[in-house]
Structure 1
């Protein structure tokens, strides 16, 4: 079937037969040619093929121009692995021009594998006139588009906290951050905070002990039941539901009250690096 489609130019004829018809615009989100395609790429390209093919069957003219994402961090990391280098300094010592040439050569080699896979799964798209994101024409087009957006006053400068890779020297996308997600065991600690107006302590649990250096507030559930207990000549305040789990017998329960009664209470911080200017 593939040979028949190729020999008789079925894809090209499906376009030619619909020239002049109402257009359905399709933009190929270019795959990054930093490695050979995997199984998940087959799935993504199958999804991309469904809608243009359906619209073509409905009589629309659907031009499908292929494209390749051929520059950026994934490509550079691939070449770094091949060269056995791991920093910007090593790239500069190797030579930026030589490094860029290897990046271009690498993506062109992988594109052959991508085209073979694309044809094999019958994803109809024009790869004979594909765009490459590393070409000057493409880059200048992006700058031109950005200038049009700027002239229409649609750009603004803002601030956002983002993840940053010190090794790569670049911000990371949310997708890249998610790729590094893993479950780990982390330390947690129980801490006592002494109240300022009485000889009692808040018993606090935190999974981020490094934040204690700058601690200025504690979280209280106003609807939760809290208890004040006496143990080893100390008075501790904690959530009632956690009492048996956290504190071993013997202890004596002195009071039971709602968390709302604790709001506004002041306590002594463990460290004096930060002094809050006002109450929470």
Structure 2
């Protein structure tokens, strides 16, 4: 009942039904909102979901940087964090959100993680370190740029043989790339994601079919059809589009409520619909 009252502003109709079934009361919206100490708390779950959001945000940024549209499925996303066990069970959420076939969890200290070219970078703040180090600050800067720097077990940072204090330097983890088919992005709270950007023929065909679904849904709206209306659909286009439409016929029909489906060359007398990704199609949509 407490959770029902707490979520009522977000899910008014659903919580109303649950509330009446549980309590027999008139309305959940007439009940008092619960005090904070009455609500269940799960700090581990909150932390995990925060990381999931970071993973999805970083992956979406990689897609955008590589011009990989959201409807195009990709094969694998590798998530490298200090505690991968904390994210177990959330792989399907990430996969659905960023449209990948599989999500792998990898520990940051695993040997495989080093293959992604992620490394730490030290930058000396000359303005902050100069007053203390004097002319030796140049030696520290040269050490940071040449790789002559280290971090001791107690956290002490040394560059060019000179110890630096907090505020005199910035230590950050920067992303590299394992190869041309992998995009790497950092997570704000530590760790990184590695996205396999290889687009196989199968993935391209599925992405094209999803583009087709989007176009058909728009055509349904333009035709003034109701959400529940079943339709007849005729799709025309290039050989690549025809192949994708036939391969993913079941998905297209289920998503668009199509009961009669035909695929062939583009209709020369019908207007072309831009699907994106360089493909166009002719669509004939009518109520079944």
Same fold (TM over 0.5): no
Question: Which TM-score applies when normalising by structure 1?
Answer: 0.19
Q: Which has the higher strand share?
A: 2
Question: Which TM-score applies when normalising by structure 2?
Answer: 0.19
Larger radius of gyration: 1
